[in-house]
Amino acid sequence: MSTVDATLDELLEYVVTDFSNEQQLMEDSGYPDFPAHLKLHEEFSTTVAAFLSASDSWDDDRIQELRRFLNKWLIGHIMTHDLRFGN
């Protein structure tokens, strides 16, 4: 297993726990945007799974593509969608 695969596996473990906890809080609080937020989590998981399924091709370009996706999604998601729930 490559370092990238191992890192993605660790990320997915964290994300599954974080998403589960966050989704439970949203559902328990009756958050009105919960269905849309859940869809964002599902889209993230699908994209990361697609990166993992093509893991035999970890060249520099693909690693940079993954890095850009994670930076954009995680920062954008936290700063926009998660903060909206927090308020």
Report the Cα 43 to chain-centroid distance in Å: 8
In the structure, what pLDDT confidence band is assigned to residue 52 with cuts at 50, 70 and 90? confident
Over residues 4-32, mean pLDDT:
90
Domains of the chain: which residue ranges?
3-86
Q: Distance (Å, rounded) from C-alpha 57 to C-alpha 62? A: 7
């609080």: which residue's tokens?
Answer: 29
Average pLDDT in the chain: 88
- What would the pLDDT profile of 66-81 be if each residue is shown by its tens digit? 899 999 988 898 889 8
Taking 90 as the threshold, does the pLDDT of residue 5 lie above it?
no
User: What pTM was computed for the model?
Assistant: 0.81
2 contacts 58 by C-beta, under 8 angstroms = yes
Taking 60 as the threshold, does the pLDDT of residue 1 lie above it?
no
